Structure 1
Amino acid sequence: MTFYHQQLIKIRDEVYPDAYVCKRIGEAKRFMDRELECSMSLADIAEEASFSTFHFIRLFKRLYGQTPYQYLIAARIAKAKRLLLSGKTVKDVCFSVGFESTSSFTGLFKKLTGSTPTAFKNKYVKQKSGY
């Protein structure tokens, strides 16, 4: 066992000693990644991990440093960026990453990236064309 591996085990044991719990939380995170475009509640995600909602939130934040909702929004915005850069319209991107309205999508996108989806896409087009 390498020193690096020993340190990882030590950190894991300090953060949360139960490997089964860590595995369940990780599986819930992968569930969120797979189902980004679907409407899901915290209760749905917690149920996937077999925990109560509030216990799940505490465990998730302890392991990942952010709440499940914060993670889900960040993952959706990251996927939205990739889709915008691939040429999709803002409206198509909005619904394909799980938002129910373009206004809420645009507001969160701007809050997290500093620009609207259209401005983000236009900036990329300008950079790509050399202007």
Structure 2
Amino acid sequence: MDQQHLANLAHLRRARDLVDREYARPLDVPTMARHALMSPGHFSRAFRAAYGETPYSYIMTRRVERAMALLREGMSVTDACMAVGCTSLGSFSSRFTELVGMTPSAYRAADHEAVLAMPTCVAKVRTRPTRESSVRIGEAAPGTAV
């Protein structure tokens, strides 16, 4: 890898770290691009090339991930939605269902005993929402191996 590519990756990490820290506040591409020291268009293309998803998708994935933890703790769906920085319950529910494979209400009502028994660092990795799979610990269909 050349020096410019490595520098771009470092700048992209800065923006990704901003999202990881500040997911609950309003974030847009121009703000993230400023943190990455790039133009918004270049930032969006470079982010997608580096991380495999758009900046907006990454923000929503982080928000859904945090909402999952809040719902496992018993927080209401509306309160979890607002706590993670979403302003539309409908959009939040749609994205949650797309990533997790069940509605936020169904996820809240599900048994999370297996996840709660795991060390936090393991639970965070095992429950991270992804587009590739909606099967999670304690959420597999009956008779399927996880």
TM-score (norm 2): 0.71
CA distance, structure 2, for counterparts of residue 41 and residue 65 of structure 1: 18
Secondary structure of 2:110's partner? helix
1:91 and 2:78 are equivalent in the alignment:
yes
> Which structure features the higher share of helix residues?
1
Between structure 1 and structure 2, the one with the greater Rg is: 1
CA distance, structure 1, for counterparts of residue 37 and residue 26 of structure 2: 19
Measured after TM superposition, the shift of residue 124 of structure 1 is 2.4
Measured after TM superposition, the shift of residue 18 of structure 1 is 2.6
CA distance, structure 2, for counterparts of residue 26 and residue 125 of structure 1: 32
Deviations 1:60-100 (A, max 9, x none): 11111111111111111111111110111111110111100
In structure 2, the partner of 1:4 is: none
Mapping 1:9-28, distance limit 5 Å: 13=1, 18-28=5-15
CA distance, structure 1, for counterparts of residue 38 and residue 97 of structure 2: 33
Residue identity matched to 1:103: G
Measured after TM superposition, the shift of residue 103 of structure 1 is 1.6
Residue identity matched to 1:68: P
In structure 1, the partner of 2:99 is: 112
In structure 1, the partner of 2:28 is: 41
Give the CA RMSD over aligned residues: 2.0
In structure 1, the partner of 2:48 is: 61
In structure 1, the partner of 2:69 is: 82
Measured after TM superposition, the shift of residue 125 of structure 1 is 6.0
Match of 1:124 among 111, 121, 129: 111
In structure 2, the partner of 1:9 is: none
Q: 1:120 to 1:49 in 2, by over 3 A?
A: same
Measured after TM superposition, the shift of residue 17 of structure 1 is 5.2
Runs of 4+ in 1 over 4 A off after TM superposition: 125-128
Measured after TM superposition, the shift of residue 111 of structure 1 is 1.8
Q: What is the count of residue pairs matched by the alignment?
A: 115
Residue identity matched to 2:22: E
Identical-pair percentage: 31
